[in-house]
Chains A and B, each alone.
Chain A
Amino acid sequence: MRRVVVTGLGVIAATGKDPNTFFTNLVQGRSGIRRISQFDPSALSVQIAAEVPDYCPADHFPNKRLDLLDRFTEFGLVAARQAVAASGLEVPEEQQPRFGVVMGSGMGGAQTYEVGYCSLFAKGATRVHPFTIPKSMHNAAASQICMEFGAQGPSLATSTACSSSGHAIGTAFQYIKFNLADVMLAGGSESPITFGIMRFWESVRVMATGNGDASRACRPFSGDREGLVLGEGAAVLVLEELEHARQRGATICAELAGYGLSSDAGHITQPTIDGPTRAIRMALNEGGLSPEDVDYINAHGTGTRLNDATETQVIKNAFGDHARKVAISSTKSMHGHAMGATAALEAAGTVLAVQNGVVPPTANYTVPDPECDLDYVPNQAREIPIRAAISNSFAFGGLNAVLLFRRFE
């Protein structure tokens, strides 16, 4: 059976614009959530988000290239470049048909759509910019990454809301495992911090306002949690067949040992217990592990009342007695909920946790909730050897993705 390993990471997020900074901030419990800076949010009732700080597109791309890039694609390319550089990957031309890209995004080029609609409906324009479609299509990030690195193998874009990049990484894992490819770039990118999308999310009534203290707005599993905070960014993993990685002497960060996916087929926004439980069991089963082998769960942990209580039940269901012993944390408390990029950010964080033997905390945890009574590693990181870890993604729409990472030795 072909094994799949992670040989490189790239991250751009509110909590850091490279993997080391990202992980260091998570371990130190530093939140990247602040007042929105991309536009004036004064008219919104939710005025905070986890934005990539001090991001300047011209630092990364020449003008001609930028004309064709939505912000979500820029983030994807930035993360992919970091991941490829970190892995030392160079794919010769004859091997490029065995090299692919899978990228998740929930909203695609949302900013580009918004600009187009604004000019049509608000400004009365009769035509819009001809790059609107090639910039905004959901596969723009995946395709631009393919073009930049010559990835000519199995490639696609996934869009399953908050699970998008979990499914992207899982799909890429299967391509390697089932011998369709040897190397994959997989992850997700999202740029949903626009006036329109913030308004759309406000109306769902699941958003935290922060009440003047933005950095503490997102408090997953805490009794006083008030909702989720939107984030943005991208993360990309270099996935590689084990022997392929060994032959080129690549540094192996961790093994991707299992992938579980399921559908709730229940409610369009409310999660079930059964669906996510089956996804966790599927991932463990594929990796040949039992619940007791898992030392860390990177939770979906959005910080909404419903998700966190349900996820707690799911973990109890899937892990039995071990649920009370396993370390659980939600790093969304710091990097926010980056929608289609969030599972990739969390996968990167989980790989770094496994590699370094450090569990990042759930930041901003203040009071216990009787419905959330497990070990959420509140506020303080914990150094423990992590043999295996899972990263949960339970999306609106009930499409769940669970990734199982194992320490490589």
Chain B
Amino acid sequence: MDVTPKVIEIIAREQHLDPDAITLDSTFQELGIDSLDGVNILFALEEEFKIDIPDSVAQNMRGVRQVVDSLTRVLEGGDISDLVAMAKSDAQAVTTN
């Protein structure tokens, strides 16, 4: 299942934006989505798809494509430990910078 249209719809709804202005390549920064907005979008996605998105994965989402990819992985119910690990190393990279 391609979740892209639903993700764009939810981001547009929560940010009060025109969905046509959002593409798979849009970054949160381009869309004016700050950290609190991001948490709000994750909440909406969790409610929509009846899933839990781990905090460590959530922290790595900085654009529409990352949201779609992570969400797809979580929905497929597969192992997401590499996503978690990637998010953690990314966070470490940020903190050590």
Contacts and interface: CB of A to CB of B under 8 A. Distances in A.
Interface residues of A, number: 10
Contacts of A64: 15-16
Interface residues of B, number: 9
A129 interface: yes
A127 B16 contact: no
Contacts of A68: 36
A40 interface: no
Where chain B touches its partner, the secondary structure class is helix
A349 B8 CA distance: 50
Contacts of A288: none
B43 A130 contact: yes
Interface string A52-87: 000000000011100110000000000000000000
Contacts of A320: none
A68 B40 CA distance: 11
A127 B46 contact: yes
A129 B39 CA distance: 9
A130 B38 CA distance: 10
Nearest to A62: B16
Where chain A touches its partner, the secondary structure class is loop
Contacts of A266: none
Nearest to A63: B16
Contacts of B16: 62-64
A131 interface: yes
Contacts, number: 19
Contact of A67 (B39, B40, B42, B46): B40
Interface in B27-59: 36, 39-40, 42-43, 46
B18 to A, nearest CB: 13
A131 B15 contact: no
Nearest to B14: A67
Contact of B36 (A62, A63, A127, A134): A134
Interface in B8-32: 14-16
Contacts of B15: 64
Contacts of A131: 36, 40
B53 to A, nearest CB: 11
Contacts of B42: 130
A130 B46 contact: no
A64 B39 CA distance: 15
Interface string B60-93: 0000000000000000000000000000000000
Contacts of B39: 130
Interface of A: 62-64, 67-68, 127, 129-131, 134
Interface of B: 14-16, 36, 39-40, 42-43, 46
Given A64-B15, A130-B42, A131-B40, 7 more contacts: A62-B16, A63-B16, A127-B43, A127-B46, A130-B39, A130-B40, A131-B36
The 8 closest A-B pairs by CB, nearest first: A130-B39, A64-B16, A63-B16, A130-B43, A130-B40, A129-B43, A131-B40, A127-B46
